Structure 1
Amino acid sequence: MRISELAERTDVPVHTLKFYLRERLLPPGLPTSRTSADYGEEHVERVRLVRALVEHGGVSLAAVRRIVGALEAPPPSRHELLGTAHSTLAGDEAGTHASPEVLALLAELGWCTWEDGPFVAELGRALEAARAAGVPLPPESLRRYAEAMRAVAEADVDLALRATSAAEAMHTVVVGTVMIDPVLVALRRVAQEAASAARA
């Protein structure tokens, strides 16, 4: 299909598609002449992915570029793949240190994690921000939240392990994380309503 047809199929303007091409978010089409190219279903899928990440996931173009690169060259093992996905999503936050409280919690839970990883450090910052805003978060509550999120994480990992290829698994982990986070937030609100109604 020509770029005009790709625009029609994806509901993305031609000038935006050309921008995606220039930014290497979309692979080049098969040249048919000096000024035109042919695009296939893989381009339709990629455009939809980029659009979902940018418009619905709020992901920066730099992060989308990292995601696209990781999708094109996924690591061999599924565990390494998850690490690559997290590094891709974290961007420049890697290398910061976790708080003693977070490290103690992880040890108590028996979780094997990268102590200097971006999300372990992010958890410490989030706890500080919550407490600064007046949310106490005692250890028992934090442990209950952690145990609930472990169940969510098991569902995420199960999806990645069911993928038939490393590329599909990478897509599932990265895109799933970005696009399912808002679903989890909405589910939490609905569950709060249900829990409150059950106790009323």
Structure 2
Amino acid sequence: MRISELSQLSGVSTASIKYYVRAGLLHEGARQGYNHTEYDTSHQERLRLIRVLLDEGGLTIAKAQTVLAAVDAPDASLVEIMEVAQRALPMSRQPASPWAVALVKEACSQRDWIVEEGNAGIMMVAQVLDVLHDLGRLDLLSLLPAYADAADAVARADVGAITPVKDRAGTANMVVVGTALGDRALQGLRRIAQGNYVRREAAKA
């Protein structure tokens, strides 16, 4: 297909497609002569992945390059790809306090989780605990075990969904997409569930 058709099918402008190729996010099409380049369904699929990373995941071009380089690396394991995707997601640069980091690590240890050094999730949760401390709401730390148990159940489902995919490229894409979109899905479901329980409590009054 020509670039105009690829643009129409993918919803990505021709200018953006050309930019993604120059930036190394999208592989080049096949040259068929002067000013004629052919694209195929692999370009469509890659554009979907690029838009998920940029639009839904909030990644910069540089971060997306890093994630996609891991996806394309034939010797990169799925664990490595997941870790690259997790580290690429936007997060606060404010360092977490040692006590908060220790508390999160203790919650992980209690569940016998294998946690690699530098896992981005440790800092993300620890930063939340620091905010609770600053707000004088350390009573909310009692929610951490319930949050950890819920995360454990979700993570099991995530990994269970990855296993059936046989080809490496499809599995790698699923890992990246799940990492980028999973947090948003959980946020939405949590809000729905909160609304449910608030209304149920109100009905009892």
> TM above 0.5, one fold?
yes
Shift of residue 46, structure 1, vs aligned partner? 1.1
What is the Cα deviation at residue 148 of structure 1?
A: 0.7
Instruction: Give yes or no for the alignment of 1:13 onto 2:21.
Output: no
Q: 1:128: how far off?
A: 0.7
Measured in 2, the distance between the counterparts of 1:83 and 1:124 equals 18
What fraction of aligned residue pairs are identical, expressed as a percent? 31
Aligned match of 1:37 = 37
- Mapped to 2, the partners of 1:10 and 1:78 lie a distance apart of 27
> What root-mean-square deviation, in Å, do the aligned CA atoms of Structure 1 and Structure 2 show?
2.4
Aligned to 2:169: 167
2:142 to 140, 143, 154: 140
Structure 2 counterpart of 1:183, which letter? A
Shift of 1:29: 0.2
Q: Which moved more, 1:104-113 or 1:35-44?
A: 104-113
CA deviations 1:74-98 (Å, max 9, x no partner) are 546544443344345479x8xx987
Q: Is contact 2:26-2:43 (8 Å) kept?
A: yes
Shift of 1:169: 1.8
For residues 108 and 118 of structure 2, what CA distance do their matches in structure 1 show? 13
- After TM superposition, the structure 1 stretch with the greater mean CA deviation from structure 2, 62-71 or 149-158, is 62-71
Match of 2:152 in 1: 150
> Given that residues 90 and 118 in structure 1 are in contact (C-alpha distance below 8 angstroms), is that contact kept between their aligned partners in structure 2?
no
Partner of 1:190: 192
Aligned partner of 1:60 in structure 2 is 60
Unaligned runs of 5+ in 1: none
Shift of 1:180: 2.5
Amino acid at match of 1:4: S
Q: Equivalents in 2 of 1:156, 1:115: separation in Å?
A: 21
What stretches of structure 2 of length at least 5 have no aligned partner? none
Q: Determine the C-alpha separation between the residues in 2 that align with 1:142 and 1:42.
A: 42
**Does 1:28 pair with 2:28?**
yes
CA contact 1:3–1:38 (8 Å) conserved in 2: yes
Q: 1:137 to 1:70 in 2, by over 3 A?
A: farther
Q: What residue number does 1:180 align with?
A: 182
Shift of 1:145: 0.9
Sort the Cα spacing of 1:12 and 1:70 in 2 relative to 1 into closer, same or farther, 3 A. same
Shift of 1:153: 0.9
Contact 2:49–2:173 (CA<8 Å) still a contact in 1?
no
The one-letter code sitting in structure 2 at the alignment partner of 1:145 is: Y
Q: Residue 117 of structure 1 aligns with which residue?
A: 119
Instruction: Indicate if the aligned counterparts of 1:85 and 1:170 stay in contact, CA closer than 8 A.
Output: no
Q: Which amino acid aligns with 1:162?
A: P
Letter in 2 for 1:143: P
1:99 aligns with 2:101: yes
Structure 1 144/66 Cα, relative in aligned 2: closer, same or farther at 3 Å?
same
TM-score, normalising length: structure 1: 0.86
